[in-house]
Every structure is written in structure tokens, then in C-alpha cells.
Amino acid sequence: MAIPSDFVEDTAEDGAVTLYFSGDLSIASVGDLPERLREYGSNVERLDISDTGYIDTVGAWLIHRTARDMEAEIVGANDDAERLIAAVAGADQPAEIRPQALNPVIRVVSEVGEATAIAFSTMSGLVGFFGAIIVAFFRLVRHPGQIRWNAVIQRFDVVGVRALGIVGLMSFLIGLVIAQQGAVQLRQFGAEVFTVNLVGRLTLRELGVLMTAIMVAGRSGSAFAAQIGTMKLTEEIDAMRTIGVSPIEALVLPRFIAAVFMLPLLGFYASIVAIIGGGLLSWAQLDIPPATFFSRIREVVPLTDVYVGLVKAPVFGAIIAITGCYQGMQVKGNAEDVGQRTTAAVVQAIFLVIVLDAFFAVFFTWIGWN
């Protein structure tokens, strides 16, 4: 075990104070010596380390620093100690542990400014990216032979077919909850029967597509960003460009097409499953038999509600694909960036989907589809 370091003071006849050190001078043995030496005055002439054992750079630093602060002289150093003290003395330069903290007011203002600038540049970037997709799309329309059907079909599978389970389960539960909560509230007015209207209209018009969009944003939007971001990191995308393959055509368009086509299908499917869930609950709680429930649905839900859902869905799909692929293409530098971009893709997709949903609500009411 390392021998703890210690020191004793000794005053010579002429009044000069010498500190005699003993024990090992190492990281394991210095203990509380740094504090004790700092609190010790500064009227010391000499530090005598001739009686010390093993020394490492921490011990050497302690001696060097003490000598520096007390303006004392180091005596009795053996070769090891001398070499190490010289080494740490050479490394004795003022440095900071953390970057200089800014004034809080300036920091808040600058962060708000930076966030605003980033928000605007992201918006313009998304619009520009959408433009690039449109250009690539029309190029492919003129040269249909170049469409990568394999990639498109594969994306259909990943974005659409494989989402059926989770979207179905989620929608079923949402249907159940709407019916249950609706029934409880409407019963107060003796209007339980309107639960059917609530479930049918709400899911087909709003929730089916909206919840599906949120689920797809979390499931596929994040995957788009992570996949493309990783390919960006491994320089696959640069390699593609060099070979003359457009990453927009090869990577982004298949995902865009898949999301635009799959979201209406998934959204409609989600609405139907939610209605089934609501129907089951109505049967169990309100004694409305399924046949009656579904014929009521056909009576109370106008066809325009289905159109509303189906019009919104491809737009939401496009937004999810654009934010996911755009953020993926923005990845630079390191793996950490992939994580941040993936998060950003999902957050932006969900945010934009909900904002647009609000606009759609106003718009459809305005054209009389209510």
C-alpha cells in the first residue's frame, strides 16, 4: 500500500522555514495534503523532498505547485522527482475546465435567435427538398422505365403492410375509448344513441388518419431519417452521386411514393377498425347490436367525411416522407447527429401534420363539408 504523504515544518536559526516531506508522493498517497498545503502560509523558503519514496506526476505537481505559490525552493529531489517536476512544470499553463459561460441574458437571446434562424432555414430547406422531389418525380414520369419498382414495392411493404398490426391495435383501442367515453357523457342527456355518430364521424373525419399519421411518423419517418442519415455517414450517398445515381430518385422517391400511397390506405383501415372497436363496445355497453350499429353508421356519416379523411392522408404521408428524408440528408459528421436528426424528423412531422390538420378542418368547414 502506498505510504501516505505528510510534511513537518522546521524553522532554522535564521528564521527560514523548511517543509520536510515524507511518505510516497503519488495520486494514491497525497490525501488531504493539497488542502493543507494551500492553507499553510507562504513564508516558506524550502521544500525538502529528500525523504520521500515513490513519486508520480500528481506528487510532482503538488510539489511544483506548492513551490510556485510559496515561492519556495525544492531541495533533495532525486532523479525521478527532478524529471517529473520538470515535466509538470513544462505543462503548467493556465487552462479552463469548461468553456466560458455567456451572460445569461445574452445566452437566452442568442439561443432564441439561433432557434428562430434554424426554424426558418428548416422550413425553407423542407420546401426546397419538396421541390427537388417534384422535379425528380416529373423526370421519372417522363422516363417511366427508370422507376425503381423494387424499392417502391419494398417500401410499400415496410411502411404499409408491416404497420397493419400496430395501427390496427391502436385504432381498435381508440374506437373503444371514444365509444366508452362518449356513452358516459351522452347518457347524461339520454342521448347514448349518438355514440354511433361520435365514433363514426370522429374516426373517419379526424382521428383515423391523424393517429395513423402520428404512428407512421414515429415508425417510418424516424426510420427514413436514420437509414438515410447512416448512409450519409458511411458516404454511400456520396458514392451514389459519383456513380451518377440521384439519391433523390433512388432513396427519397420510393419512400415518398410509399408514404403517399400507404397513408390513405392505412388511415381508412384505421378508421374501419376503430369503428369496429366502437361497435363492439356499443354492443356490450349500450346493447346496440352490430347490424343496427353499422346501418346507423351508414345513415349518420356523410360520404364527405370519408373524403375528408382520404384527402388529408396523402398530404400527411408526403409530410412524413419529406421531413424524414430531409433530416436524413442533413446528417453530417457523427453518429450523434443521426440520433438528433431522427428525433427532429419525428417531431417536425407530427407538428406539421397537426398544423395542417387544423388548416384542413377550417378549409373543409368553409367549403361546406361538415
Q: In the set 4, 6, 17, 28, which binds another protein (CB under 8 A)?
A: 28
Min dist CB 48 to another protein, Å, is: 21
Least distance (Å) between residue 71 CB and another protein: 18
The alpha carbon torsion through 293, 299, 301, 306 (nearest 10 deg) reads 100
* Binding-site string for another protein from residue 41 to residue 80, where x marks contact by CB under 8 A and - marks none: -------------x-xxx--xx--x--------------x
If binding is defined by CB under 8 A, does position 300 make contact with another protein? Answer: no
* Smallest separation (angstroms) from another protein to the CB of 178: 43
User: What element of type H or E holds 262?
Assistant: helix 253-281
User: Contact with another protein (CB under 8 A): which of 26, 271, 330, 348?
Assistant: 26
Q: Which three cell numbers stand for residue 209?
A: 388518419
Per the CB < 8 A criterion, the answer to whether 203 and 278 are in contact is yes
Q: Which residue has the cell 427537388?
A: 132
Of 174, 216, 231, nearest to 349 by C-alpha is: 216
- Nearest to another protein of 14, 336 (CB atom): 336
Check residue 2 for interaction with another protein (CB under 8 A).
yes
Map grid coordinates 513544462 to a residue: 90
The sign of the CA dihedral 282, 283, 288, 290 is: positive
Specify which residues 22 forms β-bridges with: 6
Beta strands in the chain (DSSP E): 6-11, 17-25, 44-48, 52-55, 73-75
CB of 78 to another protein, least distance (A): 13
233 binds another protein (CB under 8 A): no
Q: Taking CB under 8 A as the rule, does residue 339 contact another protein?
A: no
What are the angstrom distances between the C-alpha of 11 and each of 33, 65, 77? 20, 21, 20
> Among residues 57 and 285, whose Cβ is nearest to another protein?
57
Identity of the residue, 4 or 314, whose beta carbon is nearer to another protein in the bound complex: 4
| C-alpha torsion sign, points 324, 326, 327, 332 | positive
40 forms part of the interface with another protein (CB under 8 A)? no
Strand-pair partners of 6 = 22
Read off the C-alpha cell for 205.
373525419
- Report if residue 30 touches another protein, rule: CB under 8 A: yes
Q: Give the interface size with another protein as a residue count (CB under 8 A).
A: 37
Assess 38 for contact with another protein (CB under 8 A): yes
Nearer to another protein, 96 or 287 (CB): 96
Question: Based on CB atoms, which residue is closest to another protein, 80 or 157?
Answer: 80
Binding residues (CB under 8 A) for another protein: these are: 1-2, 26-28, 30-32, 34-35, 38, 54, 56-58, 61-62, 65, 80, 83-84, 87-88, 90-100, 333-334, 336
